[in-house]
């Protein structure tokens, strides 16, 4: 599994479709393949994706804004959880670029510690729900 690294890769995936949502996360996807016959009806849309995603396969990125997770330790924990759950679902994901975006914050009154076991469990369970929704048709 490749990781999204450049700003243009993140922007290309955000311009794609939102496949699934939970309370705190959104799952974005952009297909890397063109039509099966090799012709492309809209060459302007496929050219950037081919240039940005040179290695074929599954691409995964994590976007955890400071707006929703103030502490760096929390942002890093959420990103680690995203990539760990994503690695488990890699065989079931289509050959596309995927981006998991934190879209709302976790309640700091409920999770007082930045990396408590309860917060880790809540993040992991919600990410698993998100990936299940994204891979089921």
* Core vs surface per residue 5-27: b (16+ CB within 10 A) or e: eeeebbebbeebeebbebebbbb
Please identify, in words, the CATH class of the domain defined by 2-35+54-135.
alpha beta
CA distance 56 to 51: 11
pLDDT of residue 114 exceeding 60: yes
What is the token pair recorded at 59?
């691409």
26 phi and psi angles, rounded to 5 deg: -130, 140
45 phi and psi angles, rounded to 5 deg: -80, -30
The per-residue pLDDT for range 43-75, each reduced to its tens digit, is 344 444 557 888 888 999 999 999 999 999 999
What is the reported pTM? 0.83
């Amino acid at each position: 599994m490749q990781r999204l690294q450049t700003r243009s890769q993140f922007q290309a995936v955000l311009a794609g479709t939102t496949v699934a949502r939970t309370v705190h996360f959104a799952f974005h996807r952009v297909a890397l393949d063109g039509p099966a016959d090799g012709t492309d009806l809209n060459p302007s849309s496929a050219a950037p994706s081919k240039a940005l995603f040179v290695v074929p396969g599954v691409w995964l990125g994590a976007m955890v804004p400071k707006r929703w997770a103030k502490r760096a330790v929390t942002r890093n924990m959420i990103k680690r959880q995203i990539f760990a759950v994503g690695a488990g679902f890699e065989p079931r994901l289509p050959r596309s670029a995927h981006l998991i975006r934190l879209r709302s914050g976790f309640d700091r009154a409920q999770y007082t510690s930045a990396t408590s076991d309860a917060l880790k469990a809540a993040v992991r369970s919600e990410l698993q729900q998100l990936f299940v929704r994204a891979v089921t048709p």
